[in-house]
Structure 1
Amino acid sequence: MNTTGPVDKGLRLIPFSGLRYVPERVGSLSAVTSPPYDVVVRPDGLHHLESADPYNIVRLILPQAATAEERHRQAAATLRRWQAEGILAPDPEPALYVYEQRRGEVLQRGVIGALALSAPADGIVLPHEDVMPDVVEDRADLLRTTAANLEPLLLTYRGEPRTAPAETASDATGATGPSGTSGVIERALGRPPLLTTTTEDGFSHRLWSVTDPGELAEISGDLAHHQALIADGHHRWATYLRLSAEHTAANGTGTGAGTGTGTGAGAGAGVAADGPGPWGYGLVLLIDTARYPLQVRAIHRLLHRLPVDRALEALHDAPGSFRVRTVEGPLPRALEILAETAAAANAFLLAGDGRFHLVDRPDQDLLARTVRADRPAAWRELDATVLHSTLLDHLWRIPDDPEHIAYIHDAEAAVTQAERHGGTAVLLHPVREDVVRELARQGVTMPRKSTSFGPKPATGLVLRDLARG
């Protein structure tokens, strides 16, 4: 994917006064963090996080109450109370934040800031998945009520490789090193971090603030040449755009999300009075995948109301539609077999009855009848496309709504839930990142919840209060 564009037509990331936990007021920083809201496995993961610390961030991102309206009001009241009690406090001056995650050989570094929103047609931020309207509605109501960005989206862009000569430049002391965003990140590593913690998944996290005008300008000038791919957070991005449009319309005749007259490192503070103001920006983590490649994992499906025996019966009642066979466990071995099979053709692993059933080799005539033909071949051949178009819609007749389908990132959790409640877990193999990028470049969105990029930023390390800009 081409990630460069004209100067000033690319990404615009502005500093903000991050709202962060006061370490002395909580048990530990690791105890108040959470995975992103859609990764928390309900109800087990939710209860675990709620009991980890009374101030765990899950009480804001997944509040519990009888109705959606009550949940959102509860989250807003909790956020205000935690600020009044000094549990959460804003940093003294606007900053961009260098963020590092590390576990073993996995290392990810990027920059957190408030990104100027842009219309899809602008091609600055590229989505690659469809979204579910009910999820966008719920997230929009939560954001609207709390007036806060509670967790950053994960966006990627492609900078220069580590070894590129163009990356080196002299600093004020005459020393040479990387320039642009990469240079700012590497220089931040030599300073004391704002926070250091290790979460129970084994990842260590470090955060630094960047407030120097020169370094902010360096990041701004660099990112102006790039576009980004949404790696994680399509529903939150859609939420940002919806609320930005609402505030633009409410405030007059603004021309769209993210419009403004500011320039340079502090651009954005001077957003036009008739625009969306702070709502024209959204909290993101930007990762340069030329330096820090992300991992791509599958998102699995849990079919609540379809037991495994009925799923298999429907396949047997359609002879030749797919090949079906039982494969050996345990789960890691079954996933290895799935990976080997998916390299050659569409393949899925069904579980929930104590065994593993490999479903592969779809009939080509069946695919031609059930998969829409007005999309590129790479889209038509996706496992997620075949799953939704041919299996879920045509053979199993499963409506794509939360009552019937849950999307679960962890394969073991999906299998456990299926066995516990008598449903079917459909396990998928990950899509290659180059396929995701090429489809996004063509403006083609993948079926919802097709990919899971990671590692994902921990939720709760830095929030954005829209009342502060």
Structure 2
Amino acid sequence: MNTAGHTDVHGLDLIPFRGVRYDPERVGGLAAVTSPPYDVVVRPDGLLELESSDPHNIVRLILPQATTQAARDQQAADTLHDWLGEGVLAPDPLPGLYVYEQHDGDILQRGIIGALRLSAPADGVVLPHEDVMPHVIEDRAALMRATAANLEPLLLTYRGDTGAGGANAAIDRAVHHKPLLSTTTEDGFHHRLWAVTDPAEIAEIRSDLARHQALIADGHHRWATYLRLRGEHASPSPWDFGLVLLVDTARYPLRVRAIHRYLHRLPVADALASLTGSFRVRTLECPLPKAMDTLAAAAAEGNAFLLAGDGAFHLVDRPSPDLLARTVPADRPEAWRTLDATVLHATLLDHVWHIPDAPEHIAYIHHTEATVEKAEREGGTAVLMHPVREEVVRDLARQGVTMPRKSTSFGPKPATGVVLRDLAF
């Protein structure tokens, strides 16, 4: 394990590592073995589609399928061991930092993948902005313990400088060389990866990043898992670091989307009946894209949600001020108290619908159409959300205020399977 000499760093401490990558000669194609992050894979259909795309698809490591937790984790560990032994996956010869690019015509995003020294929230180096669910941390921790690997990078953002030099200059130089890999995934995104192995360039990147703090854009549960596993191992060790992608959003702004809720046990009719007198409810006779536009317009004026699952779309907005005063905690900043996610959880889920925030009651789904389809197929209620602005997220995080879990979806997210970090190398 290369620790690149720990210095007195007060900001981001990113070190090179020997990335583990697919051998393109041993798989059906790099696009066929990658996957969205584990929590974005739509199950079961998306999982089955990924598993069938190639026998070595990374989803077999991040979402192993077996009857028990222990069996799933052991299966992932055995699969990783087998693929390394067969040469399907192999470590790069030299430690490096990796420049990673995603491009889909409208969006160009570039960043640096490396192993980041873990820091406590009180240090203010890495800022979380969402609460987390203990059962997800348990699940991810068990998988990481079994595989002793970081299988997918977190997405972190920082605000870089406009001057020459530093990480952005290294990125600009790297992209003029032949990439280690180049592939286009099914979602239309083109992915390219370069390794930066020159010690002087690595030092330039590290020096630049050491002056910055980062916001967790995607991967709060994996970050909490990293911290838990670090606490289980004596330092110094490879567990002091975690795999991340760092993107300078001053240069490459991220797209912010909402994460929707699916309420398994609440039919739409019951959900709507409970809102009489406390919210305005309007049924929209239009297709989903138009309904989402209407939601966006309503959300610009105040709290608004779109309920679906009965073949129609129901816009829910204008909550009773008295109801909000009774149900939303008053000991938080105004920006937090007026979040749609805050009102959804504190007012609707906790007070009006009395729904526990547990997996058997609520599913968190990134894809709008998939959320609606699931509700219509199973008879529950889809609660569609409008995304919050990045500056609101960052301002709350700097105040040390976390938003309700799964409040935002920043993207584009790094494809899982482009580069892994095996703690043995």
What is residue 272 of structure 1 aligned with on the other side? none
What is residue 4 of structure 2 aligned with on the other side? none
Alignment partners' CA distance in 2, 1:69 and 1:276: 28
Q: Secondary structure at the match of 1:406?
A: strand
Give the counterpart letter for 1:49 in structure 2.
L
> What's the offset of the Cα at 1:339?
0.1
Give the counterpart letter for 2:248 in structure 1.
D
> What's the offset of the Cα at 1:138?
0.5
| C-alpha distance after superposition, 1:19-73 (max 9, x if no partner) | 0000000000000000000000111110110111000000000000001111001
Q: How many residues align?
A: 419
Q: How does 1:156-305 map to 2 (within 5 A)?
A: 156-161=157-162, 167-168=163-164, 179-248=165-234, 275-305=235-265
Give the counterpart letter for 2:328 in structure 1.
V
Q: Secondary structure at the match of 1:247?
A: coil
What is residue 373 of structure 1 aligned with on the other side? 330
Alignment partners' CA distance in 1, 2:296 and 2:142: 39
What is residue 263 of structure 1 aligned with on the other side? none
What is residue 329 of structure 1 aligned with on the other side? 286
Q: Contact 1:114/1:283 (CA < 8 Å) preserved in 2?
A: yes
Q: How does 1:378-389 map to 2 (within 5 A)?
A: 378-389=335-346
| C-alpha distance after superposition, 1:172-193 (max 9, x if no partner) | xxxxxxx100000000011110
What is residue 366 of structure 2 aligned with on the other side? 409
Q: Contact 1:315/1:322 (CA < 8 Å) preserved in 2?
A: yes
The one of 407, 410, 414 aligned to 1:450: 407
The alignment yields a C-alpha RMSD, in angstroms, of 1.0
Alignment partners' CA distance in 2, 1:217 and 1:134: 39
Q: Secondary structure at the match of 2:215?
A: strand
| C-alpha distance after superposition, 1:314-345 (max 9, x if no partner) | 112xx2x1001101320000000000000001
> What's the offset of the Cα at 1:121?
0.4
Give the counterpart letter for 1:294 in structure 2.
L
Alignment partners' CA distance in 2, 1:376 and 1:314: 28
Q: Contact 1:245/1:276 (CA < 8 Å) preserved in 2?
A: no
Q: Contact 1:324/1:360 (CA < 8 Å) preserved in 2?
A: yes
> What's the offset of the Cα at 1:276?
4.2
Q: Contact 1:98/1:207 (CA < 8 Å) preserved in 2?
A: yes
What is residue 459 of structure 1 aligned with on the other side? 416
What is residue 153 of structure 2 aligned with on the other side? 152
Q: Contact 1:17/1:464 (CA < 8 Å) preserved in 2?
A: yes
Give the counterpart letter for 1:234 in structure 2.
H
Alignment partners' CA distance in 2, 1:328 and 1:112: 46
Percent identity over the alignment is 74
Q: Contact 1:149/1:463 (CA < 8 Å) preserved in 2?
A: yes
Q: Which runs of no fewer than 5 residues in structure 2 stay unpaired?
A: 1-7
Give the counterpart letter for 2:392 in structure 1.
V
What is residue 33 of structure 2 aligned with on the other side? 32
Q: Secondary structure at the match of 2:233?
A: helix
| C-alpha distance after superposition, 1:373-406 (max 9, x if no partner) | 1100000000000000100010101110000100
1:139 aligns with 2:140: yes
Alignment partners' CA distance in 1, 2:284 and 2:400: 38
What is residue 54 of structure 2 aligned with on the other side? 53
TM-score normalised by the chain length of structure 1: 0.89
Alignment partners' CA distance in 1, 2:322 and 2:421: 51
Alignment partners' CA distance in 1, 2:367 and 2:357: 20
Alignment partners' CA distance in 1, 2:367 and 2:286: 17
Q: Contact 1:244/1:276 (CA < 8 Å) preserved in 2?
A: no
Q: Secondary structure at the match of 2:273?
A: helix
Give the counterpart letter for 2:204 in structure 1.
E
> What's the offset of the Cα at 1:8?
2.4
What is residue 311 of structure 2 aligned with on the other side? 354
Q: Secondary structure at the match of 1:467?
A: coil
What is residue 393 of structure 1 aligned with on the other side? 350
What is residue 363 of structure 1 aligned with on the other side? 320
Q: Which runs of no fewer than 5 residues in structure 1 stay unpaired?
A: 1-6, 162-166, 169-178, 249-274
Alignment partners' CA distance in 2, 1:227 and 1:368: 35
Alignment partners' CA distance in 2, 1:59 and 1:34: 10
Q: Contact 1:112/1:285 (CA < 8 Å) preserved in 2?
A: yes
| C-alpha distance after superposition, 1:393-435 (max 9, x if no partner) | 1010111000010000011010001101111100000001110
What is residue 315 of structure 1 aligned with on the other side? 275
Q: How does 1:77-116 map to 2 (within 5 A)?
A: 77-116=78-117
Q: Contact 1:297/1:429 (CA < 8 Å) preserved in 2?
A: yes
4+ residue segments displaced more than 3 Å: none
Alignment partners' CA distance in 1, 2:403 and 2:342: 8
Give the counterpart letter for 1:306 in structure 2.
L
